[in-house]
Chain A
């Protein structure tokens, strides 16, 4: 089976950009945002004209069987157009995931062929009023209907909420509790007893339809049980968490980039006090440069995990959580600063940054809130810390210490990783993880450390990530600044975190003075990046 190659990937992204330019101008997006409406015809046309919906469908059923690396690039580009539309399309990908992971060959053949031929919009229905991040509290039930000793149908009763494409999808994958446990079912939209509720009036992604679903004695054939085996629902859902959260990270990355690049173009053209804003050091150091450093760090991390998922198919739950958490927070801060960078203009609806700011908030919420991500990241890595007797981050630090090239921020990140290891150890010895807030904050420090470590490693590899607009020298500068900032954050906030719950201050210094010395040169590097950014995004 032939895979999509890098040239095809690039051409697909170009086609997507041109399609959006012709069919989804900002005025239309703004109008839909104002009216809280989903441009169904435009999205259906996008399916028909571009075949974007075919990305996740296996080739044997008329699809393109894209890799995780393909999909994340498309997600990021879609988010640059509109995060609501991106969500609607992502929901179609997400909706077909349980089928992809757990469907029988016969089910895949029937449903995927139908999805490809009829350009179906799909929705993924897991969340309920009392079962959000805690899916175990699931209440929607699927009761067996038995005839002549054989299960012929299931009768579904219950309700769902916050379902993307909820009121407009053609096909739904629904999680319901069967006698054998949680299971996924395929439910076509016009099944009797199945009703779709009103489109929510949301803060952002107003172009994405979000609605509740109601099931009253909805009868579906037993063949619609994905995998034809009860009780596989959680396994099937969890198998793709790494993947789906990685995609939310990519969506955030795209939206954040769009906001900051718009701000740079504005800053290049806005002359105040005899020079463009993009030539002013404070403006660039504060509002622009830090965000692009984080975007490139996020891109390198997302790309790495996508490649691992391409090899292994599933897993990477902690890494997926890191990608989502890191990119969504970076994008939210960036969108906020983009408004600031535009001044009064940014606060009006005439400029897209205002909408992006509202839209991008969702990336910190759907597929698990940032706090759930912090817990997931902490739990995943706490186990590693214990299993390796504190060597998990020390091994990474040693790897960096062995590298002679200090130009890449290797020394700084090595110190940061050692500090992190010490902080985790202090938490273990003093049983500090009984405090939930500590676990959240550890999740944050871990995510930052791993993303920074990977960014330095990527720069050391001598290659830039596909789709990155910068050369290696710029990436190296970014990785260096990021490593220093992250190391300092780990040491200072880690120290604060530990001492905040201890009765007596810890004797550990978490390498603060050494890390502080490593911060020499950050300002000069930031100046160099300011020039690169204003030249790269001129118009």
Chain B
């Protein structure tokens, strides 16, 4: 089973605050592997353990982003690829997914592409599905688990109020969301040192044969007009009434707001 896992280095948003102008206050904020991607990598390692094969990890970003690839190599990935060039800078999710899909074509053959559900710095959840679109392969999003048996993939997809169990033939792209009780794995010192000796390739648009007009700011249809923190929620109204009376009050409010008649 040849698996490609897409990884992103992100600021640890648990430690980020906003400046008054809406930009991120990055002082002292460490960069980490996007936790959803970390989970996707953990799943890839689990599958590799059962089926054998190779895991290739792929990221796009500045030189510093190679750190997350090194973490993946330490955890057990076999090869890593970093798309790093000024031409990639300023890419939105569409341009990013185009670049990553070009790289994935160069990494073929593959059976499975795993991505995190979204990156915690942007929260768009668009890049994974868009990669599948560029590659014209099926996709299943928001999965908490993925298993492979006899070349059939079974995914557990999180839906409102429960899970869907879906099957897909290969190749397929899966985006993964981390179950709340999952402890992300970290490598031993020995594995980190072994990872240091594994291949890490840096690719520019030339190596992935990308159309440069589709990269960076030029290739990005998204325009950010303003970034601002959402206004704090107003304090809610609390009814200290019986269940029946509370229900009646809620009905009245919903009618007043014309939500129900």
Contacts and interface: CB of A to CB of B under 8 A. Distances in A.
Interface string A43-65: 00000011110110000000010
B190 interface: yes
Given A11-B70, A18-B186, A532 B27 contact: yes
B196 A4 contact: yes
A402 interface: no
Given A11-B67, A18-B186, A469 B28 contact: yes
- Chain A interface residue number, banded: 20 to 34
Contacts of B27: 532, 535-536
A254 B25 CA distance: 26
Given A64-B193, A536-B28, A14 B186 contact: yes
Contacts of B25: 535
Given A11-B70, A535-B28, A50 B188 contact: yes
A538 interface: yes
A8 interface: yes
Interface string A26-53: 0000000000000000000000011110
B187 A15 contact: yes
Contact of A7 (B14, B28, B70, B188): B70
Interface string A504-539: 000000000000000000000000000010011111
Nearest to A116: B190
A22 interface: yes
A538 B25 CA distance: 11
B192 A12 contact: yes
B66 to A, nearest CB: 7
Interface in B1-42: 14-15, 17, 25, 27-28
Contacts, number: 63
Nearest to B26: A535
Given A536-B28, A537-B28, A11 B188 contact: no
Interface in B138-192: 183-184, 186-190, 192
B74 A539 contact: no
Contacts of A52: 189
20 contacts: A2-B196, A2-B197, A4-B193, A4-B196, A7-B70, A8-B196, A11-B67, A11-B192, A14-B186, A15-B187, A18-B184, A50-B188, A51-B190, A54-B190, A64-B189, A470-B28, A532-B27, A536-B28, A538-B17, A539-B15
B57 interface: no
**Do most interface residues of chain B lie in helix, strand or loop, or is the interface mixed?**
helix
B95 interface: no
Contacts of A19: 186
Given A52-B189, A532-B27, 15 more contacts: A4-B196, A7-B66, A7-B196, A8-B192, A8-B195, A11-B67, A11-B195, A14-B186, A15-B192, A18-B184, A49-B188, A50-B189, A55-B189, A64-B193, A535-B28
Nearest to B64: A7
Nearest to A470: B28
Nearest to A532: B27
A18 B71 CA distance: 13
A19 B15 CA distance: 20
A307 to B, nearest CB: 20
Interface in A1-26: 2, 4-5, 7-8, 10-12, 14-15, 18-19, 22
Interface of A is mostly: helix
A505 B168 CA distance: 92
B28 to A, nearest CB: 4
Nearest to A55: B189
B74 A11 contact: yes
Contacts of A54: 189-190
Given A64-B193, A536-B28, A539-B15, A8 B70 contact: yes
A537 B193 CA distance: 30
Contacts of B74: 8, 11
A538 B189 contact: no
Interface string B47-72: 00000000000000000001100110
Nearest to A62: B190
B70 A15 contact: no
A181 B158 CA distance: 73
B193 A15 contact: no
A64 B193 CA distance: 8
Contacts of B17: 538
Contacts of B187: 11, 15
A10 B67 contact: yes
A49 B71 CA distance: 16
Contacts of A64: 189-190, 193
A10 B188 CA distance: 12
A472 to B, nearest CB: 13
A10 B193 CA distance: 11
A469 B183 CA distance: 27
Interface in A456-495: 469-470
Nearest to B71: A11
Contacts of B70: 7-8, 11
B142 to A, nearest CB: 26
A51 B188 CA distance: 6
Contacts of A4: 193, 196
Contacts of B195: 8, 11
B28 A12 contact: no
Contacts of B71: 11, 14
Contacts of B196: 2, 4-5, 7-8
Contact of A15 (B14, B28, B66, B186): B186
B196 to A, nearest CB: 5
A15 B193 CA distance: 12
Nearest to A22: B183
